[in-house]
């Protein structure tokens, strides 16, 4: 997105024997400007913080909107696409005035 900046992190979770990948966990920390727009849109009680229900609404909205983009997760092995199971849900948090998904 040209007007949204995010710091991205990927954690690769391995099996106990370290022979296969069991999960990929993404963390996105969004810039202050985009985060403030999310605050304005989802802070339904206008207390300038997102409570648990409001954070869940943010996460659910992002989850549904990213589905058509495969959650920005494309995995290949030997040049072939690896089918992935979509995340059942996302988690949202607000820390230091930044949205974290």
Confidence tier at 67 by pLDDT (50, 70, 90):
confident
* pLDDT in the model for residue 73: 85
Confidence tier at 83 by pLDDT (50, 70, 90):
confident
What is the Cα–Cα distance from 86 to 84, expressed in whole angstroms?
6
Q: Considering the entire predicted model, what is its pTM? A: 0.84
What is the Cα–Cα distance from 47 to 72, expressed in whole angstroms?
32
* pLDDT in the model for residue 69: 86
Tokens of 67: 């589905």
Domain range annotation of the chain: 6-100
User: Does 93 or 3 have the greater pLDDT score?
Assistant: 93
């Amino acid at each position: 997105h040209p007007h949204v900046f995010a710091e991205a992190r990927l954690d690769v979770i391995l099996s106990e024997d370290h022979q296969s990948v069991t999960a990929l966990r993404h963390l996105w920390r969004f810039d202050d400007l985009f985060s403030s727009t999310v605050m304005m849109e989802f802070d339904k009680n206008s207390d300038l913080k997102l409570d648990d229900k409001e954070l869940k609404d943010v996460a659910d909205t992002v989850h549904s909107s990213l589905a058509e983009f495969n959650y920005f997760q494309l995995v290949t092995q030997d040049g072939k696409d690896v089918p992935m199971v979509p995340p059942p849900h996302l988690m949202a948090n607000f820390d230091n005035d930044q949205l974290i998904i």
